[in-house]
Amino acid sequence: MNADHLADLEFRHLLSFRAVAETGSFHEAAASLDYTQSAVSQHVAALESLLGVRLFDRSRGRRTVAITEAGTLLLRHADAIVARMQAARADIRAFAEGATGRLRVGTYQSVGARVLPETLGIFTSLWPNVEVHLVETNSDDGLLDLVESGELDLSFAVYPLSDGPFEAVELFRDPYVLVVPAASPLARLDHALTAGEIAKLPIIGFRHCRSTSAAEDYLRANGGNPQWVFRSDDNTTVQALVVAGIGVALVPRLAVDETDPRCAVIPTEVPPRVLTLVWHRDRYRSPGQVGFVELARQVCLELQQRVAPALAQE
């Protein structure tokens, strides 16, 4: 047989062949497959024509057939092919149901430290066969480009989003705070600092960050020209510089290590940054992806409830 003829082989030919081999009858095979008997006969005849061999001995006057040696040889391969197709169908069904697959998520420092661990811990216990691949950056800059290009399925990001085919859910309103040395007189203030008060201080902040740019714009619009004395894209460095007395840090609260006793956290009147989780609006969203979004939303809701009372007490 010419190998090119294999292109004419149809999966239903193999299904009919296996059913006849298992039942020993074209009639019973047709019943098991919910085919007509003539359809089963045509499938087997087509398979025999393609392979150039007889697969069954058909005796006149008998309702049953006997498989030939060539048929027995083919049956081993047919069983393997059908088994693989059934496995493939199960895999695709599981993938469509979100039970397996790969989820690519963009994240950055403050989210990675406070939101992602709890979300990921719960997600991996509920979706153990979904492999989560993280792409980490210092801020959300560039992550939305990866969502648009299809290199990420989801990404944490800050409102406002850049123009593009994006949909998002709001997760958390992250207040801007001033981080000061614990011994500083500022640590004893009993009110949220205004833009005018902040602008008079030596400020440490992030270098490349859209949320820092938004805070800086607010200070300029409401209190004058802020005095930036140092910038870094590393949260730990920013806080260490505060401890060293270089200045005070104006940062979102999620970026602060509040377990450090050398620092105090002061509320401000700077509008909070709004954290979101973003996806491409035109791409298929697997159940696993939808589940990750919902878990992140629940984690952030609980985090918001913990942060708000703490700010009210300060």
- Evaluate if residue 3 carries a pLDDT over 50: no
Q: What is the pLDDT of residue 312?
A: 46
Name the amino acid, one letter, at 80: A
Q: Are residues 151 and 283 in the same domain?
A: yes
Judgement on whether residues 121 and 204 belong to the same structural domain of the protein: no
* pLDDT for position 1: 47
Give per-residue pLDDT as tens, 55-97.
999 876 567 889 999 999 999 999 888 888 887 887 787 677 7
Same domain, 285 and 258: no
The pLDDT value given to residue 14: 92
For the chain, helix (H) and strand (E) counts, in that order, are: 11, 12
Same domain? 256 vs 213: yes
The residue among 46, 79, 96 that closes a domain is 96
- Terminal CA-to-CA distance of the chain, rounded, Å? 84
- The residue segments making up the domain with residue 60 are 3-96
Tokens of 149: 């290009």
What CA–CA distance (Å, rounded) separates 128 from 96?
A: 15
The set of residues, in sequence order, having a beta carbon less than 8 Å from that of 86 and lying 6+ positions away, is none
Does one domain contain both 249 and 115? no
- Predicted local distance difference test score (pLDDT) of residue 229: 92
Does 259 share its domain with 115? no
Contact between 203 and 248 (Cβ < 8 Å): yes
Give the per-residue pLDDT at 4: 57
Q: Are residues 263 and 300 in the same domain?
A: no
Please count the other Cβ atoms lying within 10 Å of the Cβ belonging to residue 6.
Answer: 10
d(CA 176, CA 243): 18
Can you give the pLDDT at residue 310? 52
pLDDT at residue 46 in the model = 92
Tens-place pLDDT, residues 117-173: 999 999 999 999 899 999 987 667 688 888 988 889 999 999 888 888 999 999 999
How much is the pTM?
0.74
Interval 4-45: pLDDT, tens: 566 678 899 999 999 999 999 999 999 999 999 999 999 999
**Which CATH number characterizes residue 255's domain?**
3.40.190.10
Which residue, of 96, 124, 158, is where some domain finishes?
A: 96
Instruction: Tell me: do 286 and 202 sit in the same domain.
Output: no
**CATH number of the domain that residue 39 is part of:** 1.10.10.10
The answer on 303 and 155 residing in a single domain is yes
Q: Strand order in 101-108's β-sheet?
A: 130-137, 101-108, 154-158, 273-280, 166-174
Residue of 295, 43, 294, 251 lying closest to 138 (CA atoms):
251
Number of domains making up the chain: 3
Q: Tell me, what's the pLDDT at 308?
A: 60
Domain end residue (candidates: 46, 67, 96): 96
Percentage of the chain exceeding pLDDT 90: 51
For residues 91 and 14, membership in a common domain is answered with yes
Same domain, residue pair 134 and 244 = no
Residues 164 and 17 in one domain: no
Average pLDDT over residues 198-218: 85
Nearest Cα to Cα of residue 149 among 102, 106, 120: 106
- What is the spatial distance between Cα 200 and Cα 8, in angstroms, rounded to a whole number? 80
